[in-house]
A and B are shown apart, each in its own frame.
Chain A
Amino acid sequence: MADERLPVPGIDTSRSFTFTFDGRDVTAHPGDTIGSALAANGVTTLTRSFKYHRPRGLLCVAGRCPNCLVNVDGVPSVRSCTEPAVEGMVVASQNAWPSLRFDLVSLADRFDRFLPIGFYYKVFHRPRFLWPFFEHMLRQVAGLGVVDTSVVPDRVERTRNLHADVAVIGGGPAGCLAALEAAAAGARVVLVDDGPELGGHFRLTSAAVRGDDRLTGLDGIAAAVRLRELVAEQPGITALTRTTAFGIYEGGLVGANEGRIVHRIRARRIVLATGAAERPALFDGNDLPGIMLGSGVLRLARLFGVRAGKRAVVVTDGPWGWRCAADLLDAGVSVMAIADAREVANTGVDEALRGRLADAGVEQLTDTTVLGARGRGRVSRLRLGTPGGERTLATDLVAMCLRPEPVVALAAQAGAGRRYDAALGVTVAEAPPEDVLLAGHVQGSDDLATVLASAIVAGRRAAREAGAAGAADQAAAERALAEAAAAAPAPVAAVPTSLATGGRKRFVCVCEDVTVKELELGVYEGFDDLETMKRYSTTTMGPCQGKMCHSLAAGVQAELTGRSRGEVGHTTSRPPYHPVSLGALAGPHLDPVRYTAMHERHAALDPTWVDMGDWKRPLIYTSVAEECRAVRERVGLIDVSTLGKLDVRGPDAGAYLDWLHPNRFSDLRMGRVRYRAMTDEAGIVLDDGTVARLGPDRFFVTTGTGTLDAVDQWMRWWLAGSGRDVSITNTTGELAAMNLAGPQARATLAKVTDADVSKAAMPYLAAAEVLIAGVPATILRIGFVGELGYEIHVPADYGTHVWDALMAAGAEFGIAPFGVEAQRILRLEKQHLIVSQDTDALSGPIESGLGWLVKADKDDFVGRAAVAFAAASGARPNLIGFEAPGRPVPHEGAGIVREGQLIGRVTSAKWSPHLGKTIGMAWMTHGPFDTGTPIVIRHDDDRTVTATLQAKPFYDPDGVRLRA
């Protein structure tokens, strides 16, 4: 049943290719969309509807309605009317089971009386125990399309940031002219249009254009071409086509979606030239395939060369329908009749146009109402109420050409007013906020000269307000607009929505399958407000987001409640104006990873890795037991480059560090390092690390791996405006760090440095700047793992060099690299706490066993009042070690119970291969806290672990080895 294509410039019929639709081959030409190719191949049903599974076919052919959603290569709910056809693509219909033609759920259509509005609230909640069954069934039937979760997320989503003086939304005649005017004045312009090319409705009409010198004398199609040329010649305009502006946000931000790309367009001024669009007419059976918007029929013919039917009937309420009929004839579509709701005298159509239609054999029916449409799978008959009685026309195509309605949703989002204009019978946008301007039909007038003049005014004004230098004559543009508006013919009066024709299948909302009947019941049940009706019926909440149904629903609501359309108002307009895939909104799947300078050395040993923030760290190289043994008995080396490192310097640096900590650093001697723990104003421990004094005004501060950013911000905050002469530099990335630890650490280090590393010259808690393997290094003699140890910081570029030198020097002593897991065990053997693992958001220094840090003689420091209050309230150390002779090792977080009461919680627990027992730390809220107190840990539901408290370190309790 495939039809000859009409010759159109956008379709290259000399070449063809195929794709499949529900397994069947479909022939397409370059330039086709999926929808146009299917239409050309005679496929009229593309999907089934949301609730009743009624057959649905092309309606708008502009990507605005829900009627052509298909699954393309596994991606659900793709709009086939705008999605370019690609050779070999696999297209499948949605919402049909077992097949598009024989859909069993469509039986619901016959039993609609049992599926009233809100039916699942009403029907399925009793008996309660059956709800899981009903829910499963409803989820099978409801919804649109199926997401294939097996599809591997691709990495092609992109976010693009664009900056403009003026963003123009809408690439029709008004948008193009506004963009041209703004760019001519020197503004950087971004022009956004959802269609495949600029030109808007000009692309569809053969009507003569008037009102602007650049276009006068051309017909619509030629004018569209001229506009595209003018925009292309203007270097100040960045034009984005196939790009839908879906939201207007604060700060002049426009969100626009182009396939998998989300553009974030930041503009000083936004011109909304969103134009006007048709919506469906209301009559029984108005959703049948073959019943389309007039502009949709024209798009198929003009842009794709496809005749949507052979015997078209145009249904209209004004001259726009007569114009559409003429355009259809010009495009090669045969029109059988036009049915206008007006009386003949009021059609607003000139004699010439009527004469043309008469010559073409188009029957002209005026004062005529559509009563209903019938057909199996496609419209075949249209029933009309004429002054002479009821008529039935045999037809296969109904073009609905009601008055185009201003597209006001984005304007409303941006904060403009919406006003129902009773004379026009449509809602218009007005009074936009100061950074938004309106251009063209969106303001109400459909007079072309007025539309174009208003666009010139808006474009010039936007450029000037955005700061563009070029002087355009604003006053002249304003005068021209006033003249055009005065000269415009009086608008054709509106024909109100009528519910008099009756019928069970008058669809208001084709997305959610809501009919007039259901809205009647909703109003009867008390939902007389448009917003509550929207939520109850889900009208306007489907994929079209109100584009097809909002004004219909409001009109029906007005009729049903006996109020004026103005009183009924509008529902709130929110982003997204158009559905955007979550993947596009989420942006690229970027998952940054940070490697330390020595990463390749680790990778060569193929360790297991652990993620710490963005960092990758070796968890275990060989075995935990072997790595622990190397550190305890010989010497080990661990990469600690992920430690946060801050260079804090300036005359006030010492006093400033005193202010930030419970302990003191202004008295720290040169060449010494001191433990630090920081509290906030609530006396909570935020972070710990070390401070080394490397010069009179120069301190080297280390932080935890994960707390660096927070500590950096915290320190800068207290500095801001304090008047202190201190500067803070984050040197984390520029320094590599490693910890050399074990009884042979000194002997190893001595081999790669000329500096005196003897105990006398570099005792415990010494800090020094020396050359190691020829590289300037900062050495801190500290021992997180409880052995003689050196934390060595070197420029990151030399990290591998120093690592290699130390590994080579330590070879004779049996040096081994050790990972994070061994370090965790070794530190636990010493009961060295990890802030935020062994402490939490309520842990103060005294409770954390860090009370020795708090210098009571300090005047003030951040958190002093809170720590003093805690001390006065009897705070005591709650973090206490425990040990158990065997396994299992209790879970970290496991509760400690006594007589059914929770008295504490395990914060850390490990098996110590060196000690041959389970060791850990617990946050004990109830005493006794003495060493030797037995505790019972709930390991899991079935097992408990019995342990005893041990307040002193399990290993080297007196720190002899540490200070060696």
Chain B
Amino acid sequence: MSFLLACPICGPRDVYEFRFGGEVLRRPAPDAAEEEWTAYRYLRSNPARAGREWWFHRLGCRRWFQAERDATENRVIATWWAGEGPTGAETGARDSGRPGGDGG
């Protein structure tokens, strides 16, 4: 893997500067069934097409952001700050997946 990823702060950088943070998921409600929690903890869809992911610019600004990437050809379609979204499309689903947004 040597594709480029555009960090919203630092611009396009080698993927080796980043840590992959997994799929963007929706966190279940606190009182959700254990099955739902288990799916959230352990089950991943790993789609063979474009998917939304977390990335962390480990060797740069050390900020988390989200990206849409086609995993079959490592094409990065867009990157954006969590909660903002590239175009506003489907931001609802992603925002409710905001990890820190639901509690505390």
A binding-site residues for B, Cβ under 8 Å:
249-253, 266, 655-656, 658-659, 681-682, 712-713, 716-724, 859-862, 864-866, 869
A713 touches which one: B56, B95, B102 (CB < 8 A)? B56
Given A250-B3, A681-B41, A865-B37, are A720 and B30 also a contact pair (CB < 8 Å)?
A: no
- Give, as a whole number of angstroms, the nearest-CB distance from B11 to chain A: 12
Show 22 A/B contacts (Cβ-Cβ < 8 Å), sorted by A: A249-B2, A250-B2, A252-B4, A656-B104, A681-B27, A681-B41, A712-B62, A713-B19, A713-B56, A713-B62, A717-B54, A718-B100, A720-B63, A720-B81, A720-B99, A721-B83, A721-B84, A722-B83, A722-B101, A859-B104, A861-B104, A869-B37
- In the complex, residue of chain A having the shortest beta-carbon distance to the beta carbon of B37: A865
Given A716-B56, A717-B21, are A722 and B1 also a contact pair (CB < 8 Å)?
A: no
Indicate if B10 sits at the interface (CB-CB under 8 A): no
Given A250-B3, A713-B19, A713-B58, are A864 and B100 also a contact pair (CB < 8 Å)?
A: no
Considering the chains assembled together, what is the distance between the CA atoms of A581 and B63 in angstroms?
A: 36
Considering the chains assembled together, what is the distance between the CA atoms of A593 and B101 in angstroms?
A: 39
Q: Are B74 and A866 interface neighbours, CB within 8 A?
A: no
Considering the chains assembled together, what is the distance between the CA atoms of A723 and B84 in angstroms?
A: 11
Residues of B within 8 A of A864 (CB): 30, 103
Residues of A within 8 A of B63 (CB): 716, 720
Considering the chains assembled together, what is the distance between the CA atoms of A327 and B27 in angstroms?
A: 75
Q: Are B74 and A250 interface neighbours, CB within 8 A?
A: yes
- Contacts A249-B2, A869-B37 supplied; 12 other A-B pairs, CB < 8 Å: A655-B104, A656-B104, A682-B42, A713-B19, A713-B62, A720-B99, A720-B100, A721-B100, A722-B98, A859-B104, A864-B103, A865-B37
Residues of B within 8 A of A719 (CB): 64, 100
Q: Are A253 and B64 interface neighbours, CB within 8 A?
A: no
Q: Are B103 and A659 interface neighbours, CB within 8 A?
A: yes
Q: Are B102 and A860 interface neighbours, CB within 8 A?
A: yes
- Give, as a whole number of angstroms, the nearest-CB distance from B20 to chain A: 12
Interface bin, chain B: 35 or more
Residues of B within 8 A of A681 (CB): 27, 37, 40-41
- Give, as a whole number of angstroms, the nearest-CB distance from B79 to chain A: 13
Considering the chains assembled together, what is the distance between the CA atoms of A299 and B56 in angstroms?
A: 52
Residues of A within 8 A of B98 (CB): 721-722
Interface hits, B42-67 → A, CB 8 Å: 42, 54, 56, 58, 62-65
- In the complex, residue of chain A having the shortest beta-carbon distance to the beta carbon of B85: A721
Most buried by A among B41, B58, B82, B104: B104
- Give, as a whole number of angstroms, the nearest-CB distance from A266 to chain B: 7
Considering the chains assembled together, what is the distance between the CA atoms of A139 and B87 in angstroms?
A: 61
Considering the chains assembled together, what is the distance between the CA atoms of A866 and B100 in angstroms?
A: 17
- Give, as a whole number of angstroms, the nearest-CB distance from B84 to chain A: 8
Indicate if B89 sits at the interface (CB-CB under 8 A): no
Residues of A within 8 A of B99 (CB): 717-718, 720, 722, 862
A724 touches which one: B21, B32, B100 (CB < 8 A)? B100
Q: Are B56 and A266 interface neighbours, CB within 8 A?
A: no
Indicate if B90 sits at the interface (CB-CB under 8 A): no
Given A656-B100, A716-B63, are A721 and B32 also a contact pair (CB < 8 Å)?
A: no
A865 touches which one: B4, B30, B56, B65 (CB < 8 A)? B30
Residues of B within 8 A of A655 (CB): 104
Q: Are A720 and B1 interface neighbours, CB within 8 A?
A: no
- Give, as a whole number of angstroms, the nearest-CB distance from A868 to chain B: 9
- In the complex, residue of chain A having the shortest beta-carbon distance to the beta carbon of B62: A716
Residues of B within 8 A of A723 (CB): 83, 101
Residues of A within 8 A of B101 (CB): 721-723
- Give, as a whole number of angstroms, the nearest-CB distance from A874 to chain B: 15
B81 touches which one: A249, A659, A721, A860 (CB < 8 A)? A721
Considering the chains assembled together, what is the distance between the CA atoms of A721 and B102 in angstroms?
A: 12
Number of A-B contacts (CB under 8 A): 91
- Give, as a whole number of angstroms, the nearest-CB distance from A193 to chain B: 22
Q: Are B32 and A865 interface neighbours, CB within 8 A?
A: yes
Considering the chains assembled together, what is the distance between the CA atoms of A722 and B96 in angstroms?
A: 10
Most buried by B among A251, A682, A718: A251
- Give, as a whole number of angstroms, the nearest-CB distance from A855 to chain B: 12
- Give, as a whole number of angstroms, the nearest-CB distance from B60 to chain A: 13
- Give, as a whole number of angstroms, the nearest-CB distance from B69 to chain A: 12
Residues of A within 8 A of B32 (CB): 865
- In the complex, residue of chain B having the shortest beta-carbon distance to the beta carbon of A660: B104
B104 touches which one: A253, A658, A713 (CB < 8 A)? A658
Residues of B within 8 A of A861 (CB): 103-104
Indicate if B86 sits at the interface (CB-CB under 8 A): no
- Give, as a whole number of angstroms, the nearest-CB distance from A289 to chain B: 41
A250 touches which one: B1, B41, B64, B100 (CB < 8 A)? B1
Residues of B within 8 A of A862 (CB): 99
Considering the chains assembled together, what is the distance between the CA atoms of A865 and B34 in angstroms?
A: 8
Considering the chains assembled together, what is the distance between the CA atoms of A655 and B100 in angstroms?
A: 11
Considering the chains assembled together, what is the distance between the CA atoms of A626 and B87 in angstroms?
A: 66
Given A253-B2, A656-B100, A722-B100, are A716 and B30 also a contact pair (CB < 8 Å)?
A: no
- Give, as a whole number of angstroms, the nearest-CB distance from B100 to chain A: 3
- Give, as a whole number of angstroms, the nearest-CB distance from B18 to chain A: 11
Closest 3 CB pairs of A and B: A721-B82, A659-B104, A722-B100
Q: Are B37 and A866 interface neighbours, CB within 8 A?
A: yes
Residues of A within 8 A of B3 (CB): 250-251
Most buried by A among B3, B19, B30, B99: B99
Most buried by B among A249, A722, A869: A722
- In the complex, residue of chain A having the shortest beta-carbon distance to the beta carbon of B80: A721
Residues of B within 8 A of A717 (CB): 21, 54, 56, 64, 99
B41 touches which one: A252, A682, A718 (CB < 8 A)? A682
Q: Are A860 and B82 interface neighbours, CB within 8 A?
A: no
Q: Are B14 and A266 interface neighbours, CB within 8 A?
A: yes
- Give, as a whole number of angstroms, the nearest-CB distance from B54 to chain A: 7
- Give, as a whole number of angstroms, the nearest-CB distance from A444 to chain B: 28
Residues of A within 8 A of B34 (CB): 865, 869
Considering the chains assembled together, what is the distance between the CA atoms of A869 and B32 in angstroms?
A: 12
Considering the chains assembled together, what is the distance between the CA atoms of A873 and B73 in angstroms?
A: 44
B82 touches which one: A250, A720, A866 (CB < 8 A)? A720
B2 touches which one: A251, A713, A716, A859 (CB < 8 A)? A251
Q: Are B104 and A860 interface neighbours, CB within 8 A?
A: yes
- Give, as a whole number of angstroms, the nearest-CB distance from B71 to chain A: 12
Residues of A within 8 A of B2 (CB): 249-251, 253
Considering the chains assembled together, what is the distance between the CA atoms of A96 and B6 in angstroms?
A: 54
Q: Are A860 and B62 interface neighbours, CB within 8 A?
A: no
Residues of A within 8 A of B82 (CB): 720-721
Residues of B within 8 A of A713 (CB): 19, 56, 58, 62
Considering the chains assembled together, what is the distance between the CA atoms of A865 and B103 in angstroms?
A: 12
- In the complex, residue of chain A having the shortest beta-carbon distance to the beta carbon of B65: A720
Residues of B within 8 A of A682 (CB): 41-42
- In the complex, residue of chain A having the shortest beta-carbon distance to the beta carbon of B33: A865
- Give, as a whole number of angstroms, the nearest-CB distance from A548 to chain B: 29
- Give, as a whole number of angstroms, the nearest-CB distance from B26 to chain A: 13
Residues of A within 8 A of B54 (CB): 717, 720
Considering the chains assembled together, what is the distance between the CA atoms of A557 and B56 in angstroms?
A: 50
Considering the chains assembled together, what is the distance between the CA atoms of A266 and B27 in angstroms?
A: 39
Q: Are B14 and A860 interface neighbours, CB within 8 A?
A: no
- In the complex, residue of chain A having the shortest beta-carbon distance to the beta carbon of B81: A721
Residues of A within 8 A of B21 (CB): 717
Residues of A within 8 A of B103 (CB): 659, 859-861, 864
- Give, as a whole number of angstroms, the nearest-CB distance from B14 to chain A: 7
Given A251-B2, A253-B2, A717-B21, are A860 and B41 also a contact pair (CB < 8 Å)?
A: no
Given A720-B82, A869-B34, are A251 and B100 also a contact pair (CB < 8 Å)?
A: no
Residues of A within 8 A of B84 (CB): 721
Residues of A within 8 A of B102 (CB): 860
Q: Are B100 and A859 interface neighbours, CB within 8 A?
A: no
Considering the chains assembled together, what is the distance between the CA atoms of A219 and B15 in angstroms?
A: 47
Considering the chains assembled together, what is the distance between the CA atoms of A62 and B54 in angstroms?
A: 47
Residues of A within 8 A of B104 (CB): 655-656, 658-659, 859-861
Residues of A within 8 A of B100 (CB): 656, 659, 718-722, 724
Considering the chains assembled together, what is the distance between the CA atoms of A378 and B90 in angstroms?
A: 74
Considering the chains assembled together, what is the distance between the CA atoms of A266 and B62 in angstroms?
A: 23
